[in-house]
Structure 1
Amino acid sequence: MNIEYLHYFLDVAKTKSITRAAKLNFISPQGMSRAMNELEKELGCQLLIRYSNKLALSPIGEELAPKAAEIIGGYDRMLEFAAAKSQVQQAGGHSIQLECQNVAMLAFLTQEAKDYIFESREIHFRESQNSQIRHDLLLSNAGDPSGACPIIGLVCFFNQDRSSNIGGIDDLEEKGYQYRPYLKTYDKVMVNAQSPLAAKETLSDEDIVSKPIASTNTYLYSILSKRFGRNAIGLSSADFSLRKSMVECDSAVSFLPAIASLTMAEETGFVLRDMERSYEVEIGFVGMESDMESACFQGLMDILDGFYRAHTDSGLYALCD
C-alpha cells in the first residue's frame, strides 16, 4: 500500500474537502480524488460519501481514520528509531535528515553530491514525496526538538504557481520553516535511445502520444492528463525504475527535468528530447534556517553550487539567486 495515500485520506477526513486536502499536499484535486478512489479500491470499501455540494466520511471511513493514523504513527516511529540508531554525531556536530523528492533526487543531485550525502556521518537520507516531506516537517516541529533529527526537504514543483502551493508552503512558513527555491528548469521527453523518436530533436504532442505515457503520480499526472488526455497515460507510478524500464523496452515515453542531461549523462538506454511546449519545474529546499546554515548542509550546497554555476551556459536551467 502507498502510505502517502493514508496521509491524503487523513487530510481529506480533517478538511472534509478534496480541494483543500489537495492544496495541502501539493497535488491537483483530480489527483487527490484519484488517490482516494485507488485507496477505496485497494481496501475494498467506501471511505467517502460524495454529495453534490459537500463530502463526508462513510461509517467505515470514520472507523478507519484512527487506524490509518495509527499506521502512520507506527511508520514514523520506526523511521525515528532507525534514524536514532544510525546517527553518529561528532562532538559539537549538527546532524540533519535530508528528505528528497524522487525526481529531484534523480535529476538534480549530481553524483558528487550523492556521494557526499551517503558518505556523510551527519546527513541521513530518505526518499519521500512532497506531501510526506511536509508532514514530517510539521511532525518534527510539533514534537520534542531535542529528540528528533532536524529535517530538510528537497522538493520539486511542476508549473510552479505560488497560489497553488499556498496551503502546503505557507503552513510550513508559519511554523518557522523557510522555502528556498534553488533553480528553475523544464521537462524533457524521455524516449528509447533506439526508437524513431530519438532521431528527432523536438517532439510534438502527436509524437509524444504515439507511445503510452509513463507518468509520476504527483501533480505532473494532472498536467499531463489535461494536456494529452487520461487515456494517453499508460502508467502512473512513483517508481522511477519501472518508468525507466518501460522506456528502455520502447513500450512508453516518460519525462525528466532538462538538468538530467547533465547529471545522468552516463545513462544509455534512453535519451532526452525537447517538447514543442514544455512546462516549468522548480526545485528547492525547505527547512529551518539554522539547519540550512549548518556545516554539513553547506558542504552539500558548495558541491551543488560549484556544479550548477559551472554549467549556467547550458541553457537548461536558471538559478534562483
Structure 2
Amino acid sequence: MNIEYLHYYLDVAKTKSITRAAKLNFISPQGMSRAMNELEKELGCKLLVRYSNKLDLSPVGEELVPRAAAIIENYSELLEFAASQSQPQHKDTGCINLECQNVALLAFLTQDAKDYIFESRKIRFHESQNPQIRQVLLAGRAGEGAPSSPTIGLMCFFNQERSSEQGGIDDLEEKGYQYRPYLKAYDKVMVCSSSPLAEKDVLSDEDIISRPLVTTNTHLYGFLSRRFGRDAISLSSSEFSLRKRLVERDAALSFLPAFASLTMPEEPGFVLRKMERPYEVEIGFVGMEADLKSECFMGLMDILDEFYRAHLESGLYVLCD
C-alpha cells in the first residue's frame, strides 16, 4: 500500500473535500480523486459517499480514520527505529543523512554517484521533497526529532524561488545552514516519440497545453500551475514510471531537466524537446559547513564534479561558482 494515500485520506476526512485536501498536498483534485479510488479498490470497501454538492465518509470510512492515523504513526516510529539501528555509530564515524529531492535523484545524480551513495556505509539516503527536507533540517537544529547524524539536503528550485513558504531556505540560513547552488539548467518537455509534437524541435506554450500535463507533486506543480493554469495539469505524482507511461501513450506531456539526456538511459518511448519559453532549474545542497566538508560528502562531490565538468560543452547547464 502507498502510505501516502493514507495521509491523503486523513486530509479528505478532515476537510470533507477532495479539492481542499488536494490543495493541502499540492496535487490536483483529479490526482486526489484517483488516489482515493485506488485506496478504496485496495481495501475493497467504500470509504467516501459523494453527493452532488458535498462529500461525506461512509460508516467504514469513519472507522478507518483512527486506524489510518495509528498506521501512519507506527510507520513513522518504524522508520525512526530502523534509522537508529542501521548505523548505531553514525555520529562517531563522520556519516551523514542525505535527503534528496526526487527530481534531483531521478535526473541529477549520475549512476556512479548513485552507486557511491548506496554502497557507502557513511551515507544514509532518503528521498524527500523540498518542504520535507526543510522540516528535517529545522528539526535537527531544534533538537526535536533530530536525525541520528548530520543531514545534508539535495534540493531543486524552479526559477530560483528559494524563499517560497513551502520550499524555502531563508529560515535554514537563519539557523546556521549554508545553501550552495551546484548547477543551473532548464527543463525540457517529455513527448511521446510517435507524437506529431516530437517532430518539432521547439514547443510553444500552445503546443505544451495541447496535451494534459503530468508533473511531480513538488515545487514544480505549483510553478507549472501558475504558468499554465491548474486545469492544464491532470495529474501530479512522485512516481516517474507513471508519468513516463502516460507520455509514452501520448496521453500527456511531462518535464525533465535538460541534462537528463546525459544522465538517464536512452528511452525509445519518449523524446525531450526544448520550450520556446524555457524556465530555469537550480539544484543545490544545504547543510552545516562542517558537514559539507565531510569526507563522505566530498567523495560524492568529486564524482559529480568529474562528470559535470566533462560535459560542460553540451550547453545543457552551467555550474555555479
Q: Under TM normalisation by the shorter chain, which class is it?
A: 0.7 to 0.9
Counterpart-to-counterpart distance in 1, 2:167 and 2:147? 28
SS at structure 2 position matched to 1:94: coil
Counterpart-to-counterpart distance in 1, 2:70 and 2:274? 45
What amino acid does structure 2 have at the position aligned with 1:253? Answer: L
TM alignment of 1:77-96, pairs within 5 A: 77-87=77-87, 93-96=93-96
Aligned to 1:316: 316
The reply to whether residue 295 of structure 1 matches residue 299 of structure 2 is: no
Aligned to 1:188: 188
Query: Once the two structures are aligned, what percentage of the paired residues are identical?
Result: 64
Q: 1:147 to 1:303 in 2, by over 3 A?
A: closer
Aligned to 1:269: 269
- Give yes or no for contact 2:28–2:230 (8 Å, CA) kept in 1: no
Q: 1:167 to 1:85 in 2, by over 3 A?
A: closer
Aligned to 1:280: 280
Relative to structure 2, which stretch is displaced further, 223-232 or 234-243? Answer: 223-232
- Give yes or no for contact 1:225–1:232 (8 Å, CA) kept in 2: yes
Cα deviation for residue 77 of structure 1 reads 3.5
Aligned to 1:245: 245
Task: Provide the aligned C-alpha RMSD in A.
Answer: 3.5
Cα deviation for residue 214 of structure 1 reads 0.7
Counterpart-to-counterpart distance in 2, 1:302 and 1:284? 15
Cα deviation for residue 287 of structure 1 reads 1.1
Q: 1:100 to 1:147 in 2, by over 3 A?
A: closer
Aligned to 1:112: 112
Counterpart-to-counterpart distance in 2, 1:318 and 1:74? 44
- Give yes or no for contact 1:31–1:222 (8 Å, CA) kept in 2: no
TM alignment of 1:1-321, pairs within 5 A: 32=24, 75-87=75-87, 93-143=93-143, 148-164=148-164, 168-321=168-321
- Give yes or no for contact 1:31–1:218 (8 Å, CA) kept in 2: no
Aligned to 1:13: none
Cα deviation for residue 194 of structure 1 reads 2.2
Q: 1:179 to 1:215 in 2, by over 3 A?
A: same
SS at structure 1 position matched to 2:164: helix
- Give yes or no for contact 2:140–2:147 (8 Å, CA) kept in 1: no
Unaligned runs of 5+ in 1: 11-29, 46-66
Counterpart-to-counterpart distance in 2, 1:227 and 1:145? 37
Deviation sequence 1:205-233 (CA, Å, 0-9, x none): 22212221111222222332233232221
Counterpart-to-counterpart distance in 2, 1:5 and 1:311? 43
Unaligned runs of 5+ in 2: 12-21, 37-46, 50-66
Count of aligned pairs between the two proteins = 282
